Amino acid sequence: MEKKNGLPNEWFRDSKSTNSNTPGAKARKSKSLNKRQIAWVFLGAFSYWFVFLLIIALLQLNKLPIERIESEIPKSPGQTWLLIGSDSRDDIDNPVLEGAPLGKFEGQRSDTIIIMSVPKIGTPLQLTSIPRDLVVTIPARGDTGEKKNKINAAYAFGGPSLSLNTVEKLVGVQMDNYAEIGFVGLVNVVNSFGGIKVCPSQDFSDKKSGLEIKEGCQTVDGLTALAYSRMRYADPKGDIGRGERQQEVVKQIMKKSLSPFTLLNPLRAPRTVSALANAVTVNKGVGPLDLVPLAIALRSGGIDSATLPNKAGGNVGDLGSTRKLTSDAEEVFKALQEGTKIPSFETKE
């Protein structure tokens, strides 16, 4: 055996080069490579899966043009959406609505009016309801000048465009996007999840909406969710209580839509994405990137909710029972304009 300084030469070999050639080192390196390869395979599979779901959505999503009234109304530093729930009876004969006491009337109004906003990345998604009986100034349209009316009448007078312009004039902020859903769409979306959870604070029995429900948290189907969103006559809080339930339903739909259980389920995800795309109508120009801030806000901070501060406005001419803003509403408008968290106030009777 050769020696160096009286010691075996083997003792002076580079330990790194020696270890890299040992069977144990090779096995560890092989395992490390296998883990990376598996990770890349999973990442690739997830990417292809989400692209597939995105293609389903883009092929089926309904889009419409929005005509904006030229103005100097600024945009918010955050992102804002106007969510409208239409009470149109155009699809009243659709089988999914069988048994729902919807009644029949001409035209359509906005049954639900919610501003959905994300102040900045990492903050909760915010829902701010606007009472449908709130008296506002509806902008001029065609040969008709501006006039005072309930805010939900804007949809009847000029559809989505006039609704959006009316809300923008009210709050002093341009909406980045518009989304609308009707009765059939709501029922189909909820059913695609296998139902959603609601938590009524008391028992409700209301013939006009068809709602029969007991107090406490429970899973309900699409028809019950629709009745839950529409009911107001059996609620002591009237339209304000209905707005709170509408927010509850919107929250559950968004949480279900973006949950891993839904998106990664090969049986449920395509059905849910298809139901959502067919149910929701958005403005032209909405793309996948517009949904990213909403998803991040929902996953990171959840959803906060509030109602535009208002109080009873009494019976006004042919308008019937109305609501009007309180001075606190200016604080909400300011928060929307500056892209900050929206304060919450108690609604006054």
Burial 64-83 (b: 16+ CB within 10 A, else e): eebeeeeeebeebebbbbbb
Token digits of residue 277: 């795309």
- Give 38-72 as a DSSP string: HHHHHHHHHHHHHHHHHHHHHHH-EEE---PPP--
> Residue 31: pLDDT band by 50, 70, 90 thresholds?
low
Decide: helix, strand or coil at residue 30.
helix
Per-residue pLDDT of 94-114, as tens digits, reads 888 888 887 665 556 778 999
Among all chains, which residue has been given the structure tokens 């042919």? Answer: 318
Which tokens belong to 72?
A: 């100097």
| pLDDT on residue 347 | 66
Which residue type does 139 have? P
Which one has a higher pLDDT value, 261 or 279? 279
Show the tokens assigned to 191. 């059913």
> What pLDDT does 342 receive?
87
* pTM of this structure: 0.82
Q: Which two tokens stand for residue 27?
A: 């096995």
Q: Are 133 and 150 in contact (CB under 8 A)?
A: yes
Instruction: Using a pLDDT cut of 70, give the percent of the chain over it.
Output: 85
pLDDT 10s digits, 180-194: 998 899 999 999 889
pLDDT at 310: 92
Averaged pLDDT of the chain: 83
Local confidence band at 6 (pLDDT 50, 70, 90 cut-offs): low
